[in-house]
Every structure is written in C-alpha cells, then in structure tokens.
Amino acid sequence: MQLNIKDKFNTQLPADTATEHSRRQVTGACFSYVTPKRTKKPELIHTSKEMLDELGLTITDSKNDVFLKAFTGNSILPNTKPYAMCYGGHQFGNWAGQLGDGRAINLCEVEHNNKNWALQLKGAGETPYSRTADGLAVLRSSIREYLCSEAMYHLGVPTTRALSLALSGDRVLRDVMYNGNPAYEKGAIVCRAAESFLRFGNYQIFAARQDLKNLKKLVDYTIKHHFSHLGQPSKETYVAFFGDVANRTLKMIIHWQRVGFVHGVMNTDNMSILGLTIDYGPYGWLEGFDFGWTPNTTDRQYKRYRYGNQPNIGLWNLLQLANALYPLIEDAPTLEAILNDYKTNFDRASLKMMRSKLGLTLELDTDKTLIQELEDVLQLTETDMTIFFRKLGDFNSNETPENGLQGIHDVFYKPEQVSGKIKEQWHIWFKKYADRLQKETIVFNERKQQMHRVNPKYVLRNYMAQLAIDKADEGDYTLIDELYQLLKKPYDEQPEYNKWFTKRPEWARHKVGCSMLSCSS
Ligand code: AMP
Ligand code: MG
C-alpha cells in the first residue's frame, strides 16, 4: 500500500508536551499525540471505491492486511504520528470549554492529485479529550456516518468523506435513549477523510483562553494551507478569511435545505472551517416537509437545530467565530458587515435554490410568494419532501390543478386529509404554478431534466439506514452495499431500485433510529 504521506498539522503546529492519554485540559497546543487502541478482532465491512481512488489506492490494496490494521488502529503507518485535535465549542448555545477529539484519532495527511486528505479514525479509543466517555463508536452510528457522508458527496453537498467501515471485534456499552437501559453493542471504526478537520471550535478555544499567539499561529496555518488564494496573512487577509468561511457555511446550509438534510447538532465544534458537513450523529432526512422537525431527541424541547432554523444557526455560529477571530482583526464593523451580508446573501441564494427546485429559469418578482405559498401548503398535512419535488418535474404548464394534485397523490402520509380546505389550497397553488410556468420559455422536457438534477430521487431515509443497521447486527452487510450503490447516483432514475422511492413505512414512524435519535453513539 503506497500512500503519499505529507503530514502538516502535526509537524507545523504546537503539540501538547504530555503524551499520556489521561483526560485533562490541554493548553498552548493544537493537538496531543495519541495511540489508537488495539482491537480484538478487526474486520472490514465496506470500503469506498471512490475514496480509495482519491488517495491513489486500489481495491487490491484495501484487501490487504496492512490496510485493515492501519484503518482500525491496530498498526501505525510508517513515519506517522497519530494525534487528537484540541478544540472547544458552544453546545446548544452555551460555551462548553474544551471538547476536542474525544473519539477521533487523526492518522496522517496524504497528498494525491494535488489534494490534501487528512485521514481520521472515529471510534479508535480514548484521548485526553474523551472526558467522561470511552472514545469508542458503535456499529449503528458508524454505518450511519459511513453511508451518509458518501451519499452527501454524491448529492453534491460539501462533506467529509468516508474511506472504510470496520468492526473492532470489541463490545461497547451504550444507553441508547439515556433511560437507564444500557446494553452491549458491536464496536466499529470508520476511517473518514477531509482536506482538514478543523472546526470553528479550534479557534474558539485559543480565543477563550486568551492565547493569542497560538490563535494567530493556527489562523496563519489555515490560510497558508487551505485558503492560500487569499494571500499572505494580514488583517485584511483575516477579514477575507472570515468572509470566505461565511460563504462556504452559507453554501453548505443551502444544500442541506435543498436536499432536506437536518444535521441535528450544529454546535460550533461541529462546524467545519472549510464549510464541510461534519460529524454525522443524530442527523436525519426530512420525510414530511416540516420546518419544525429535528431528529435529535436531545434537542426535543427547544428544537434549536430544527430544519427551518439551520440558516439562523449558521449565522449564530459565524458570530461566535467572528468573536474568536476579533483579537486578530479588531474591527467590529467590518465583521458585522460580513454577518449582515450572510443574511442578504442567504435570502438570495435560498430563492435561487428554490427556483431551481421548481424549475423556474426566469427571475420574476412574484416567485418569492409562490415559493412561500408552496412551503405553507406542503405543511398542511404530512407531505413527503423528496417524492414531492421529484414528481413536480412531471407537471406540465397546460395541465389542470386537478391533474397536478393527482400526479402527487402518493406523497401524502395521510391522504384522507387531502380534502376540503387542504385540497382547495393545493388546487390554488397548482393553478398559480401552472400560470407561472406559462411564462417560461424552456420546454417541458428540458425543465424536467433540470429539476431532476437538483431534486434527488433517492436519499438516505432514516428507516433505510436503520434496516441496514438491523441486518448488519445479524452479520449481513448486503444492505449496506445496496444502499451505498444506490446513493452513488441519487439523481438517476435507477428503476431497479424503485422500492426505495417510497414514503417512510408506517412501522418506522416512532421507531428508535428511524424517527428518534440521540447523541449516544
Ligand atoms: P458530538 O456532539 O458527537 O460532536 O460530540 C461532542 C464532544 O464529545 C466531542 O468533543 C466528542 O469528541 C466527544 N465525544 C462524543 N462521544 C464520545 C465518546 N464515545 N468518547 C469520547 N468522547 C466522545
Ligand atoms: Mg463533534
């Protein structure tokens, strides 16, 4: 196995001088050296062919014992020094102090085809940042992270990637719903990959500790390696850096809204500085279109991270990052202007995205209202978001509102509710939509094709991941591969997979793992 290893983070930034794994506050350092835990019986379940390619590896490499041992933490690649990163963060709106890689261990960085890849194991044992937990991950959450990060990549959403999914052979104790019923589960390790795993929290921790020397070191490092287009570090460059992060964050969240992805835990330690979707925990996919929905039971009370609030939280998190960078910039109005721009840019980008979902190529003033009215009507009764937008491409401007509603009859979870006022509202909306389409010059087929490129046919519905998990628990990994293959082409018709183009089955409505998820992974 030949990897072009080019470590930067752990060779250019200050290291923790202590090397034991004991839980502690780590100051004056960006990371701590750690050794992954040896596991009882490592066994590879799946590898991503696309990610192997990115690293310059082959399928044959992935079948080698060297690969298995390296990506389950059972041996350390030559000339590498694994480490855990130090970061802090705001959790659910409150400053939580030091958090850090408690169950993630960075192996090394690889350069291939002019791209930098940090490789990181999730679930490979404790680090100084493990706090009260064990540093391990269970099979269920590892399958969810593995499948979803690759699915998001194929959907065109900026994301961290996944290289491999393996069983550790060890058992891990978890209280899934935090209700005093702990049970043993199979342990697993995902190797994930990203240009960098730096988060807002990496900068926040230095600012909180008033360690400006290391804050500057880390920001300069980030600009040099990941934002080099901005030029040499200076106050102006720091401002541009913040502006760039704001833009990337905005783009990422627009994509989430487009595909109906709800992250679930948008704490500032889970916000990538590169604008990548990171830390797949209690995330979920909208089934019924609902701005108020969150999959995370831990957030049940206030629903801070609900679907409709993700754009605002992006802004709130950026404000925290601005506060952290402030000592290097000392210019509040400029930072505030960037935050204000986020709001206007978001509205503009959101309108553009929604126009594309509706197949509108002209920009008319009335579009905003049409879109708002659609969002309202979608929430009158539980209406499947993915199937609705996919089927909307079949609607032609010369059809009647009755035809329009007929064409989407199977998107409603409670079809009996689509009568009276609700039916009327739908008719009114389809009439307006038909009128609006009349103004377009683009022909039906072309519009349909364009819409199908932004409205996926297949997403990783919560129950689908759960079915794959249930089978994997019994040692059958075929469904993991089936979903992996399906989600490589989410915008294609793939009629052979039509059974996945259906609403969530009723049995999954209140099942743990399907509609309810906790952070306990
Ligand atoms: P999360 O909400 O999953 O992003 O995790 C928040 C913090 O808790 C991070 O610093 C994690 O590293 C840490 N953490 C979560 N689960 C574990 C675990 N099983 N062992 C150690 N640390 C953990
Ligand atoms: Mg996290």
User: Active site includes 269?
Assistant: yes
> What is the maximal distance between C-alpha atoms in the chain?
72
In this prediction, residue 516 carries a pLDDT of: 77
Question: Among residues of the chain, what percentage have pLDDT more than 70?
Answer: 100
Which of 140, 44, 123, 122 lies closest to 469, judged by CA? 140
DSSP lists the bridge partners of residue 162 as 192
471 close to 479: Cβ distance less than 8 angstroms: yes
Task: Check pocket membership of 447 for ligand 1, CB cut-off 6 A.
Answer: no
**CA distances, 477 to each of 39, 151, 183, 192 (Å):** 20, 17, 22, 19
Please say if the pLDDT value at position 361 is more than 90.
Answer: yes
Q: pLDDT (tens digit, 9 = 90+) per residue, 239-288?
A: 999 999 999 999 999 999 999 999 999 999 999 999 999 999 999 999 99
Mean local confidence (pLDDT), 26-30? 98
Q: How many CA atoms lie within 13 A of 430 on its CB side?
A: 24
Listed range (30-34, 174-178, 316-320, 466-470) with the worst mean pLDDT: 174-178
CA distances (Å), origin 427, targets 122, 342, 372, 424: 50, 35, 15, 5
Q: Which of 211, 204, 208 is nearest to 245 (CA)?
A: 204
Confidence of residue 520 (pLDDT cuts 50, 70, 90): low
In degrees, to the nearest 5, what angle opens at C-alpha 88 toward C-alphas 100 and 142? 40
Task: Look at residue 238 and tell me whether its pLDDT is greater than 90.
Answer: yes
Name the catalytic one among 269, 279, 290, 299. 269
Phi-psi region of 494 (alpha: psi -120 to 50; beta: other; left: phi over 0): left
Is the Cβ atom of 281 under 6 angstroms away from ligand 1? yes
Measured in Å, residue 15 CA sits from the centre of ligand 1 at: 21
Tokens of 29: 């350092």
The alpha-helical segments, DSSP class H, found in 156-267 are 200-208, 212-226, 235-259
Is 265 touching ligand 1 by the criterion CB < 6 Å? yes
Mean predicted confidence (pLDDT) in 494-511:
94
* Phi–psi pair at 160, nearest 5 degrees: -70, 160
Residue 87 CA: which ligand 1 atom is closest? Answer: 10
To the nearest 10°, the Cα dihedral for 17, 22, 23, 24?
-30
Question: pTM for this structure?
Answer: 0.98
Q: Is the CB of 85 under 6 A from ligand 1?
A: no
Residue type, 441: T
The band of 513, judged by pLDDT with boundaries at 50, 70 and 90, is confident
Q: If you measure from the C-alpha of residue 401 to the centroid of ligand 1, how many angstroms do you get, rounded to a whole number?
A: 50
Which residue, among 108, 67, 63, 456, has the nearest Cα to 258 in the 3D structure? 456
DSSP 9-45: HHHHSPBPS--S-------S-SEEE--PPP-SS-EEE
Among 101, 106, 130, 263, which residue has the most ligand 1 atoms within 8 Å of its CB, making it the best to mutate? 130
Residue 484 pLDDT class (50, 70, 90 cuts)? very high
| CA 364 to chain CA centroid, nearest Å | 32
Would you give the DSSP letter of residue 343? H
Q: Is residue 399 within 6 Å of ligand 1 at its C-beta? A: no
The residue type at 71: F
At residue 79, the pLDDT reads 96
Q: How far is CA 374 from CA 124, 288, 350, 360, 410, in A?
A: 46, 14, 14, 14, 17
- pLDDT over 80 (residue 364): yes
Ligand 1 pocket test target in 131, 139, 185 with most atoms within 8 Å of CB: 131
Residue 400: is its pLDDT beyond 70? yes
Give the residue from 462, 417, 410 showing the smallest Cα distance to 294.
Answer: 462
Q: How far apart are the first and last CA of the chain?
A: 31
Our answer on whether the CB atom of 133 is closer than 6 Å to any ligand 1 atom is yes
Pocket lining: 103 vs ligand 1, CB cutoff 6 Å: yes
Ligand 1 contacts CB of residue 134 (under 6 A): yes
Q: How far is the CA of 54 from the centre of ligand 1 (A)?
A: 28
In this prediction, residue 52 has a pLDDT band, given cuts at 50, 70 and 90, of very high
Model pLDDT for residues 123-165, shown as the tens digit of each residue:
999 999 999 999 999 999 999 999 999 999 999 999 999 999 9
Helix or strand run (H / E) with residue 292: none
Mutate to test the pocket of ligand 1, among 99, 138, 197 (most ligand atoms within 8 A of CB): 99
Distance CA 56, CA 54 (A): 6
81, exposed or middle or buried, with CB in 10 Å at 0-12, 13-18, 19+?
Answer: middle
Q: Quick one: pLDDT at residue 521? A: 63
CA of 264 to the centre of ligand 2 (A): 11
Distance 1 CA to ligand 1 centre (A): 31
Please work out whether the CB of residue 34 comes within 6 Å of at least one atom of ligand 1: no
Contact between residue 99 and residue 83 where contact means Cβ atoms under 8 Å apart: no
d(Cα 176, Cα 190) in Å, to the nearest integer? 19
Task: State the DSSP string of 220-241.
Answer: HHHHHHH-GGG-S-SHHHHHHH
Judge whether residue 518 has pLDDT over 80.
no
The number of the ligand nearest the C-alpha atom of 296 reads 1
Please name the residue that has the structure tokens 């991950």.
137
Coil, helix or strand at residue 138: strand
* Ligand 1 nearest atom to the CA of residue 134, by list position: 20
3-state secondary structure (DSSP) of residue 361: coil
pLDDT tens digits for 372-392?
A: 999 999 999 999 999 999 999
Q: Which residues are CB-neighbours of 368 under 8 A, at least 6 positions away?
A: 351
